Amino acid sequence: MKTRKLGNSGLEVSEIGLGCMGLSFGYGPPTDKQEAIKLIRRAYELGITFFDTAEIYGPYINEEIVGEAIAPFRQNVAVATKFGFNYVNDQPAGLNSKPENIRQRVEGSLKRLKVDVIDLLYQHRVDPEVPIEDVAGTVKDLICEGKVKYFGLSEAGANTIRRAHAVQPVTALQSEYSLWWREPETKTFPTLEELGIGFVAFSPLGKGFLTGKIDVNTEFAENDFRNTVPRFNKENRQANMVLVDLIKQIALEKNATPAQIAIAWILAQKPWIVPIPGTTKIHRLEENTASVYVTLSNDELEKIQIALSEIKIAGHRYSESSEKMVDKN
């Protein structure tokens, strides 16, 4: 697999990474630990060298799984994790990016990941109670101490990115981006391009919707967070099938799968974007990874662009409580 540089920072990773969240959090029952480790190691065999986790996934268990899985090839991969929450009885309880909490969370992540240094450390969500300069300054100190290599932000707005970058260069912004969520193109991409910052796209498959495997009759597990996402209610799913039909049509023409078209489209947008699709199934992992062999021509990309301009996506991408944690600055 080819590699991509995340902006001008020097961090070079596989052109597709692996989002590990779903192995233990968010999408129904957690995957058996040994099966999760097996999947991560298979990802490495397929050329993936970029693994994304966070302390809140579980909480904690996801970092432990990733740490154990990558141990045999630690020096050959980059691990990204995140801080930014309070915990009460090991459950998340609001945002907290105070410097002392950042340090405490980083020490915990280092132990769970069984690593000496975190390759890419994100602020998971912008904390309006803590100046971003204080956050960036704390991470800068951690980099100087050798505990962190690169600094990232997640779901941050352009002004916040600029302020943070002035204190400690930001290597990557991680936010949602896909054929059905394109807001970053206008809200943050110009700033990232100007400052030489990379972009890591989570949910590149629209939380599974763009694979064509979900329809109006799909029932999600009780603890699947998609049950709380307006975009996934039955009425909106029905309305949004027009996008899936478009992707299926292109996939048929390209002898590819809808998932591969969705990922290939992202790869074609900018050379500094790295999508991190997640999955719990090895055959889906192999399918997603094969997206790097699907090339969309300029004519095909233009055709998709025209079609997308005529499609209105129904429903918000987040629940009301989650939306409040997205930085609008």
Catalytic residues: 57
The phi and psi torsions of 181 (rounded to 5 degrees) equal -145, 100
Residue ranges with strand state E in the chain:
3-5, 12-14, 18-19, 50-52, 78-83, 85-88, 91-95, 118-123, 148-154, 170-176, 198-202, 273-275
Sign of the Cα pseudo-torsion (138, 62, 233, 213, in order): positive
The phi and psi torsions of 26 (rounded to 5 degrees) equal 95, -30
Closest alpha carbon to 132 in 107, 97, 102, 101: 97
> What is the torsion angle, in degrees rounded to the nearest 10, for the CA atoms of residue 31, residue 107, residue 161 and residue 13?
-60
The C-alpha atoms of residue 230 and residue 226 are separated, in whole angstroms, by 8
Neighbour tally for 303: CB within 10 Å: 15
